[in-house]
Amino acid sequence: MLGDLDGNRARAAQAIATAASAGAQLVVLPELVSTGYALADVAQAQELGEPADGPTVSGWRALSDAHGIVVIGGFCELDADGTPRNSAAVVCPGAPVTVYRKTHLWDRERLTFTAGDEAPPVLDTPVGRVGVAICYDALFPEVMRGLAIAGAELIAVPMNSPLEGPPTVPLPVEIVSALAAAYANRVIVAQADRCGPERGIDWAGASVICDPDGRLAAGPLPDRARTGLLTACLCLADARDKRLGPRNDVLADRRLDLYATQTPTIETKENVT
């Protein structure tokens, strides 16, 4: 819920504990799970935000250590200068926390947050090599392919995907995009979307786990407006095999000599109100 810091932290902690009790080794939480998404402006983000060693991530640190699981979740970070960042923390048992700051800001996020300037990371975790992208980041094929090239076996995507217009059928386009990214890069994609209305925003209900063959391993939830837990038993090592068959490999078959000549210069105009 928007602005309910204690309640949001408690709900996230309960979700982590429930997932751990179900045997999960890695848990992905939504984008900006600590504060809610529809922050009014920079001032509200500064009021509700916290540093990377604040109570939200510290709580995840304690739960990660207690349950021996990897926790990845989005939070409103205040950097050393007090600047709001749309960030994700990767918390592994007994290891330093890694924080990634969203590099592709969506719509009015540009009025609230400052974009990160470091590429999404790929990290060695107890379950395998894990990459991170936050919501709109994942729409860019360059991001997902870059994470795959860097060795990601699973890409975690905390997200808050606003529903704009009627949902696409048979699946929300955000799920189709995740399936395509999983298949095109032969990786696992685990994305966690928000649920419930917030300041007039509804959500796409795009929480899914996709296997490296581009198939749904779990999700979507039957009611996109309600909270739920998705689980899947997948072997991250399967994502190391980039072959599509005896003669094709999604990374080895790239024609880099051709792609370099296909990068045009495009001028765009920004229209932010």
C-alpha 241/C-alpha 111 separation (Å) is: 41
Residue whose tokens read 């395509």: 180
Give the three-class secondary structure for 187: coil
H or E element: which one contains 164?
none
Measured in residues, the chain has a length of: 273
Which run of H or E residues covers position 26?
strand 26-28
CA distance 15 to 24: 11
Known catalytic residues are 31, 102, 135
- Does residue 83 contact residue 46 with C-beta atoms inside 8 Å? no
Q: Do 168 and 220 touch, CB atoms closer than 8 A? A: no
Q: Exposed, middle or buried, 85 (CB in 10 Å: 0-12/13-18/19+)?
A: buried
Contact partners, residue 74, CB within 8 Å, separation at least 6: 29, 30, 31, 32, 33, 34, 86, 87, 88, 134, 158, 160
Q: Give CA separation, 131 vs 4, 82, 119, 175, 267, in Å.
A: 29, 26, 10, 18, 30
The token pair at 36 is 């809610």
Cβ–Cβ < 8 Å for 141, 181: yes
